[in-house]
């Protein structure tokens, strides 16, 4: 059974940084896509960033491009989201997700989800 456990959320002032972690358990994640999502007005969850576990290719939402970086550590079975230049609009619960595949996906149809970690950015 796949389990994803997020950590690293917290409270930060605008302009600050946080690094989220997503520890993945239960299987080898070769040929999986890992993603980060957050709720948005009018949507259950919106895409933030995604990475191919096998190849390391990445894709970002326009709203975070240049500020956020997604990466993975295969030895630790962990995916990271480095968030810099945080803005109050980034305040949200951030969810880690996983799905089978090698093509990066920005839609919410991922198979596995973590419980989320809260990020609060004050102005």
pLDDT digits (tens, 9 = 90+) for 29-71: 999 999 999 998 888 899 999 999 999 999 999 999 999 999 9
* Cα→Cα distances 63→55, 81, 85, 100, 111, Å: 24, 14, 12, 26, 24
* Cα→Cα distances 123→3, 87, 89, 91, 117, Å: 34, 7, 10, 11, 20
pLDDT > 90? residue 1 = no
What confidence score (pLDDT) does residue 54 get? 94
Contact 88, 121 (CB under 8 A): yes
| 3-class secondary structure, 32 | strand
CA distance 44 to 12: 24
What is the average pLDDT value for the chain, to the nearest integer? 95
pLDDT > 90? residue 8 = yes
Continuous segment of H or E residues that includes residue 33: strand 32-40
Q: What percent of the chain has pLDDT over 70?
A: 100
Q: How confident is the model at residue 96 (pLDDT cuts 50, 70, 90)?
A: very high
- Pick the residue with more confidence: 121 or 1? 121
User: Helix, strand, coil: what percent of the chain each, to 5?
Assistant: 0, 55, 40
CA distance 107 to 26: 23
Q: What percent of the chain has pLDDT over 90?
A: 87
């Amino acid at each position: 059974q796949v389990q994803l456990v997020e950590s690293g959320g917290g409270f930060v002032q605008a302009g600050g940084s946080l690094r989220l972690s997503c520890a993945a358990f239960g299987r080898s994640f070769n040929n999986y896509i890992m993603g980060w999502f957050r709720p948005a007005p009018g949507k259950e969850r919106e895409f933030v960033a995604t990475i191919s576990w096998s190849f390391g290719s990445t894709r970002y939402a326009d709203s975070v491009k240049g500020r956020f970086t997604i990466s993975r550590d295969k030895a630790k079975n962990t995916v990271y989201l480095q968030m810099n230049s945080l803005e109050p609009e980034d305040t949200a619960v951030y969810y880690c997700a996983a799905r089978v595949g090698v093509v990066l996906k920005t839609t919410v149809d991922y198979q596995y989800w973590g419980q989320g970690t809260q990020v609060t950015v004050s102005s």
